[in-house]
Amino acid sequence: MVEKILVTGGAGFIGSHLIDKLVENYEVYSMDNSLPGFGNKRINPLAHQITGDIRRYEDIEFAINNIDFVIHLAAISHVSTCINNPMLAFNVNVQGTVNLLEACRKQGNIKRVIVAASDHIYGKNPAILPVTENDGYKSLSENDVYGMTKAMQAVIAKMYNDFYHVPTVITASGNVYSERQSFPNVIPSFIYNALNNKDLIIHGSGEQTRDFYYISDLVSGYIKCLETPHIEGELFNFGNGGVETSIIKIAELIIKLTNSKSEIKHINDTKLNAMNRMSLDIHKAKVLLNWKPTISLEEGLIMTINEWRKKYENFNDCTNNL
The dihedral region occupied by 18, where left means phi > 0, alpha psi between -120 and 50, and beta the remainder, is alpha
Q: State how far the alpha carbon of 38 is from the alpha carbons of 35, 75, 271, in Å.
A: 6, 9, 22
CB atoms inside a 10 Å sphere around CB 7:
31
Contacts of 106 (CB under 8 A, 6+ apart): none
Give the active site residues: 146
Contacts of 211 (CB under 8 A, 6+ apart): 119, 130, 174, 175, 239, 240, 242, 243, 244, 245, 278, 279, 280
Kindly state the DSSP code that residue 181 receives in the 8-state scheme. Answer: P
> Is residue 68 a contact partner of residue 114, using CB atoms and an 8 Å limit?
no
**Number of residues that make up the chain:** 322
